[in-house]
Structure 1
Amino acid sequence: MGVGHQRNRNITDAGRLGSLLLAQRAAFLRDGAPSLAQRADLAKFRATLIAHRKAIEDAINAHFGHRSRYETAIMEVGGVAEGTKYLIRNLPRFMSPTRRQVALHMRMGTARIEYQPLGVVGVMSPWNYPVNLALMPVVTAIAAGNRVMLKPSEFTPVTNSLLAKMLGDIFSEEQFAMVSGDAAVGAKFTALPSDHLVFTGSTAVGRAVMKAASDNLVPVTLELGGKSPVIVAKGKTLDQASIPSST
C-alpha cells in the first residue's frame, strides 16, 4: 500500500480488464504478502472516507432524488468506517498462525495454519447501498493482503466517480482499480481468472456470475437478495401479516 497515483481512475475500457488483472497479479507475486504495518495503513482510507462524508451524501442524493443524510452517514459512511476500524484493531489476531492438533503417532512434529492472501480479488457491488456494499468487501480484501478490482453498479455513476477519485488518491492501480460499465462489462469482469470473486446482488445475476466464474474455477462469495425473514408477534392475525394460513 502506498500513495495513490492520478492514473488510478474509473476504467471504462473492457479490453483493459485482462491486462489490469495481470499487472495486479504480477505486483502481488513481486511484493508478496504485505506486512502488518502496511495493512494497518488502512487508517488513511478510513480518515479519507470520513472526510468525504458530505460529498458522499451529495453523490447518493444525486441518484435517489432524496435519501436521508442520516441514513447515508450511518449505513454507508459509518458502517464502512467502523468495519475498517474493526479490521485494523484485529489484524494482529487475524494474521497470527493458529495451532492444530496432530495425530498421536506424529507428535514429534507440530501443525499450524498460516493465513496467506489469495492474490487478486474481484468485487461486484449493487446500486442500493453503493458505498457500503462496494467498500466493505474492498477494504476486507485489502486487509487480508490482496489486490482488488471493483466493478460497481452502472446505475450510480456519480458515486462511482467520487469513490474512484477518493481511493485513487490512496492506492496505486496495482493495489486497487475500479472498472465502470454496463452489464456487458460486468460479464467480462466475471469471466476474468481472478483468485476470488465477491458478488452482492440478485439471485438471477448471482447464478450467471457463478457460472461464468466456474469456467476458470474461481471461488465465489455470493450475497444474494430476495430473502426477507419476518417474525410475527403474538396478537397479530395472519391476515394482517399477509401470511397464508397454511404457513
Structure 2
Amino acid sequence: MRIDIISLFPEFIEAFYQHSIIGRARAAGLLELDVTSPRSFVYDRHRMADDTVYGGGCGMLMKAGPLYAAVETVRRDVPKRRVILMGPAGSTFNQVKARELAEYDQLILLCGHYEGVDYRVEKYLADETISVGDYVLTGGEIPAMAITDAVARMLPGVLGSAGSAVEDSFYASLLEYPQYTKPASFRGHDVPPVLRNGDHAKIATWRRTQALARTLQLRPDLLAHSQLSAKDREILARLKKELEL
C-alpha cells in the first residue's frame, strides 16, 4: 500500500514517518509513504498556496490549483485509489473505516490549513471528506497521521503479531480487555490470578468477559454493532444483573 499526505508542513509528516511501527513498516517495505507540499506547485515570487476569501471574511483559504497539482503528481495507476480531504464536514473516522481504507492500493490524504480549502477541492477533487471528531484543529496533519497509523495497523506484517490488530479496541466493536505486565503486585494492586495460572482456555474466557464488561460500562453504544455469540449474550445478561443495568 502507498499513502501520500499532501501538507504545507512536510517536515512535520516526515518526522512521523520515521518512528515506531510506521517507521519500521516503511523501512521493511511493507508500506510506501510520502509527503508532498502544495507549495511545490506555486510559482509566484512569494509561493503563496493560500489567498483571501471571496465575499469577505477573516483568514486565508488554501487555493485549489496547488492541491490539484499535488494530487495529479502523486497519484499512481493502481486499481483502488482514494483521495480524502481532512475536514470537519466529513464522516467521523472509526475502526470500520480504517479496515475499509486498508483495502485500497493508494490513499492520498489532503491536509487543509488556515481557514480551510477552496470548496472545489472538497466537491470535485476529493472522493470523500473525513473528520476525526467534533473539535477544531489548526490543520489536517494530525488527522492525516491518525488515519495513516490506524490503517497501517490493518496491513499484513506491519504489527509484530498477526493477532495484535484483531485484539485492538474497536476492531470488533468492543473495548479491549485489561492487560498487565510485571511485577505481579504493584503498590498493593495484584494481577488477576487467572492470568498467571497458565490455563489458556480460562484466560480467553476472562478476557472476553472483561471486554464485554468494559464495553457495557464505558461504551454500550458499540454493542449494537458487535458480532456477539450466544455465549457473549449470556455473559452480557449476567453482567447487566450484576451491574443493575
Q: Quick check: TM above 0.5? A: no
Bigger proportion of residues as strand: 2
TM (norm. structure 2) is 0.29
Bigger proportion of residues as helix: 1
Larger RCO: Structure 1 or Structure 2 (Cα < 8 Å, ≥ 6 residues apart)? 1
Determine which structure has more spread, i.e. the larger CA radius of gyration: 2
TM (norm. structure 1) is 0.28
